[in-house]
Amino acid sequence: MVEPRVVVVGAGPAGVRCAEALASAGIRPTLVDENRRDGGQIYRRQPENFARSYAKLYGTEASRAAAIHSSFEKLRGQIDYLPQTLVWNIEGRNLYLVRDARHITLTFDALVLATGATDRLMPVKGWNLSGTYSLGGAQVALKSQACAIGADVVFAGTGALLYLVAAQYQRAGARVRAVLDTAPWSDRVGALRDLFAVPATLLKGLLLTFALRRAGVPVYTGIEPLEIVGTGAKGVSGISFKDSRGRTVDMECDAVALGYHLRPETQLADLARCEFYFDPATRQWLPQVDPDGRSSVAGVYLTGDGARVRGAAAAEKSGELAALAVLQDLGRAPDLDAMRALRRSLETFDHFARGLNQAFPWPSGQAARLSDDTIVCRCESVSVGELRQVVQQAGARESNRAKAFSRVGMGRCQGRYCGHAAAEIIAHAANVPIEKVGRLRAQAPVKPLHIATVQNADEARSNASVEGVR
Amino acid sequence: MGGRFVRVGEAGRRVITLSVDGKPIQAYEGDTLLVAILTSIGNLRTSEFGDGLRAGFCLMSACQDCWVWTTHGERLRACSTVLTEGMTVSTQQPEGTWSNLE
């Protein structure tokens, strides 16, 4: 019997648990990861010559991080591991990779995408100034490089990560000037019932907030950011915001960490032709998956935060479950009881995720209030006013059309950081519901590549004349 | 101009010297190129669209805001590049390489 070719993309908690379950069923998966080391973003490893302990690095999640890393070490002999490798396109059953500027084509029978998430961003005037970082970026600086993004840092946005990263900075000895949360306290009270689905995580969140307050860090809730103040030459020098009573507060700082929860990285799912649907609770388009992680395309599975943002603990479960679904679809007999238990456990995390979305909602209303001179596309410095103009004057009421006219979403980040806010701006300017605006279609390459690499790929493809590939 | 990032631990690593825009800078083994530069200098590059200097944004290879260039004109994503001894980089984009084309 020919071994089925199973490829897992992403070596975070979902990808590692998926590869582990496949390996223990006797399959040798290929694990492709863009990072230099395993762990994903959440359990990102520090360089080999760093000395901080797991407890210091990962806090309450130290034992989980250690377990994932050691599981991966044990797996190394049973998988084909391709670190520092970018998957830049998918066509049919072919996966196009780049490693060391060299092109590789992998053909798969089953593909599991465990691509994780990046910060979800709402622009604010001045967010293009140097010294503004995504919340996740601020955490990476600390966790993997033992650095703070500035000497005097303001954490702004909303979500669990806002408090987590601020608390990690405070504990590491960095100066946390303030935490500015756009979500009002009342939302948290309303969400309590759902948050009790996972009481341990709820408790950890509350303890973080208390730790910040005990350390004397000012925590503002129900705020609206007005401007990140500074100059193009010197970068950030402060932040201005409206507090919950509507008063304007000016605060000095030299760095701002900004983020509003997370958004799944779905470009590869899109290139694999997976169907998407609009999720009204989070106001974004998500790829369709069944409870086990099967997408709408046979043989393509979506797992972890790359499918649904439910956090690292859920990602481990969903990675394992996706592996069992792969086995089932390949005609191997997985443990059905284990599948049922994993599904049940994921329902609990779904419940908790609903609570988090309610407690820390995406501040969609801000989009309408952004000034015309606010930059929406950081890549190419396109302003909110320019985007509104293509909606109102050129009649571009759909995301991809507005992108063609304004270049918002066409820059080097390919809409990762502007796309969700741009959709809100378009919807408001066109006076249509957000779901009518559609979603930015993913384009290959999903990250910038040297043109020579793509040319080599084209040659390789025409030489191979693979069936089903244009 | 002074640095932007502040080190909060992991002191005592081997010192590595790199050259940024012709000036020597000291950093540590294990640093990414982004951290090596931003602990001494405030920025990584200039926005091609006239809105000032940039210093990276996401630090996880997604935003592409942290590009710097080697003396041969090769583009590096500073957040995912590991520092090596004697690295020589420029924060000025070479001419004739608008965006990522070579």
ipTM of the complex: 0.94
pLDDT-wise least confident of A132-136, A214-218, A260-264, B70-74: B70-74
Q: Which residues of A touch B5 (CB under 8 A)?
A: 141, 145, 147-150
Average the pLDDT over A167-186 and give the result.
96
For chain A, say whether B86 makes contact (Cβ under 8 Å).
Answer: no
Q: Within a domain: residue B2?
A: no
Range of the domain at B29: 15-90
**pLDDT number for residue B96:** 58
Q: Which residues of A touch B49 (CB under 8 A)?
A: 380-381
Q: Within a domain: residue B68?
A: yes
Domains, chain A, in order of start with CATH, read: 6-118+264-356 (3.50.50.60), 121-260 (3.50.50.60), 366-437 (1.10.10.1100)
pLDDT above 90 for A452: no
pLDDT-wise least confident of A72-76, A205-209, B64-68: A205-209
For chain A, say whether B5 makes contact (Cβ under 8 Å).
Answer: yes
| Long-range Cβ pairs for the range A382-387 (8 Å, 24+) | A382/A406, A382/A407, A382/A408, A384/A123, A384/A425, A387/A422, A387/A425, A387/A426, A387/A429
**pLDDT number for residue B73:** 87
**pLDDT number for residue A460:** 62
Q: Within a domain: residue B35?
A: yes
Q: Which residues of B touch A264 (CB under 8 A)?
A: none
Q: What is the pLDDT of residues A86-129, one digit of tens each?
A: 999 999 999 999 998 899 999 999 999 999 999 999 999 999 99
Subunit contact A447:B59, Cβ cutoff 8 A: no
For chain B, say whether A254 makes contact (Cβ under 8 Å).
Answer: yes
For chain B, say whether A113 makes contact (Cβ under 8 Å).
Answer: no
- CA dihedral A140→A146→A152→A154, nearest 10 degrees, is 20
Q: Within a domain: residue B31?
A: yes
Q: Within a domain: residue B8?
A: no
| CATH number for the domain harbouring residue B59 | 3.10.20.440
Interface probe, candidates A145, A383, A443, chain B, greatest B C-beta count within 10 A: A145
Residue in A closest to B41 by C-alpha = A234
State chain A's mean pLDDT as an integer: 95
pTM of the model: 0.95
**pLDDT number for residue A372:** 98
pLDDT-based confidence at residue B100 (cuts at 50, 70, 90): very low
Q: Within a domain: residue B102?
A: no
Helix H segments across chain B?
33-38
Q: How many domains does chain B have?
A: 1
**pLDDT number for residue A467:** 36
Subunit contact A235:B58, Cβ cutoff 8 A: no
pLDDT-based confidence at residue A453 (cuts at 50, 70, 90): confident
Q: What is the pLDDT of residues A149-158, one digit of tens each?
A: 999 999 999 9
**pLDDT number for residue A470:** 30
pLDDT-based confidence at residue A468 (cuts at 50, 70, 90): very low
Q: Which of A142, A134, A137 is nearest to A170 (CA)?
A: A142
**pLDDT number for residue A450:** 79
For chain B, say whether A93 makes contact (Cβ under 8 Å).
Answer: no
pLDDT-wise least confident of A32-41, A190-199, A214-223, A323-332: A190-199
Subunit contact A380:B49, Cβ cutoff 8 A: yes
Q: How far apart are CA A259 and CA A181, in angstroms?
A: 10
For chain B, say whether A26 makes contact (Cβ under 8 Å).
Answer: no
Q: Which of A35, A140, A235 sits opposite B53 (nearest CB)?
A: A235
Subunit contact A375:B65, Cβ cutoff 8 A: no
Give the number of beta-carbon pairs within 8 Å between A and B. 155
Q: What is the pLDDT of residues A207-263, one digit of tens each?
A: 999 999 999 999 999 999 999 999 999 999 999 999 999 999 999 999 999 999 999
Q: Are A422 and A120 in contact (CB under 8 A)?
A: no
Q: Which residues of A touch B79 (CB under 8 A)?
A: 140
**pLDDT number for residue B99:** 53
Q: What is the pLDDT of residues A365-401, one digit of tens each?
A: 999 999 999 999 999 999 999 999 999 999 999 999 9
